[in-house]
Amino acid sequence: GQQMDMDFEQQQDVQLDAYIHMITLKTSVLLAASLEMGAIIGGASEGNCRHLYEFGKNLGIAFQIQDDYLDAFGDPEKFGKEPGGDIRQNKKTFLLIHALQTADASNKAKLLSLMQENPADKVAQVLDIFRACGVDSWARDLKQQYVDKA
């Protein structure tokens, strides 16, 4: 999962399903396996172990969506760091992938250009495009879908 994340930084086009696969391998299976191992040690049935694994996997995906969201839109006072780290690093997050898929031609061209440059106001410009594409509300809805599945 970590290698896929690093590989995505060099790829122009990353699809949402590939990103979900990457974070499943990188983040969510760790939580899933931890819950399943606890259930096994605790003597839970095979079915309950499987349910806990699926719960952890979906919760892990929701966690990563929230982490991506907070990195872009989080309040620095509450989040503990300045937002925009993923934007400055051109990381392919849920937010960027969705914006590239839904932006109009002008915003998509601007976003692709910003990924090649590092102007002082890069984070602000990218966030403006994210908001224009409705990425903030889409991410909240997507996170909720995975919470509900969990």
Is the per-residue pLDDT at 141 higher than 90?
yes
DSSP string, 3-58: HHHHHHTT-S---HHHHHHHHIIIIIHHHHHHHHHHHHHTT--HHHHHHHHHHHHH
Domains of the chain by start residue, with CATH: 2-149 (1.10.600.10)
Global pTM reads 0.84
pLDDT in tens, 90-112: 888 989 999 999 999 999 999 99
Higher pLDDT, 38 or 119: 38
Given a cut of 80, whether residue 89 has pLDDT beyond it is yes
pLDDT confidence of residue 19 = 87
pLDDT tier at 128, thresholds 50, 70, 90: very high
Q: Judge whether residue 13 has pLDDT over 90.
A: no
Confidence of residue 10 (pLDDT cuts 50, 70, 90): confident
Write the pLDDT tens digit of every residue in 29-73. Answer: 999 999 999 999 999 999 999 999 999 999 999 999 999 999 999
The enclosing H or E element of 99 equals helix 94-102
Query: What's residue 147's pLDDT?
Result: 95
Report residue 91 CA to chain centroid gap. Answer: 10
Q: What is the pLDDT of residues 18-35, one digit of tens each?
A: 889 898 998 899 999 999
